[in-house]
Amino acid sequence: MTDTVFAQIVRGEIPTDLMYQDELVTAFRDIQPQAPTHILVVPNKPVPTLADVTDADEAALGRMIRVAARLAEEEGIDEAGYRLILNCRAHAGQEVYHLHLHLLGGRPLGRMLSESEEPPAPSDHLARVIPPHNLPRFPLPQPSRDA
């Protein structure tokens, strides 16, 4: 896998506005902030995209979300609200192929999606709708009955 700027930040090889680091994740301010608070939370392990995540990455993904929520508190934006964004591959505009969660807030963020440059044709969109009975089933662990 190719090295990325985020892997270099995780290893402390290039300067960044570091917010948090532990054995699983690293958080730092985005170099081109899109909102008063714009922080990126990444797994220390260089997973390229959400589509490349495996069972072994579940702890890091959970930690990413919890760290984002904690940083939102520290930034004082949790009461007003904020948004987490995880872009996956080309249609989502992913630029850096090291999985990352954007924490955005500090102002009203508007609607969730801007108009896409090339909206899909209605037939194309409908073709992507999966009937409920065809939804993929993941082998998720069963909840413990001991609790």
With vertex at residue 120, the alpha carbon angle to CA 119 and CA 123, rounded to the nearest 5 degrees, is 145
100 belongs to the catalytic site = yes
Selected from 10, 25, 27, 28, the binder of ligand 5GP by CB under 6 A is 28
The binder of ligand 5GP chosen from 93, 108, 139, 143 (CB under 6 A): 93
DSSP 124: H
Q: Is 136 in the site for ligand 5GP (CB under 6 A)?
A: no
For the purposes of burial, counting CB atoms within 10 Å of the CB of 100, is it exposed (0-12), middle (13-18) or buried (19 or more)? buried
Q: State how far the Cα of 128 lies from the Cα of 125, in Å rounded to an integer.
A: 5
Query: Applying CB under 6 A, which part among 55-63, 74-82, 89-97, 112-120 lies near ligand 5GP?
Result: 89-97
Contact positions vs ligand 5GP (CB under 6 A):
5, 16, 28-32, 40, 87, 93-96
Which residues are identified as catalytic? 100
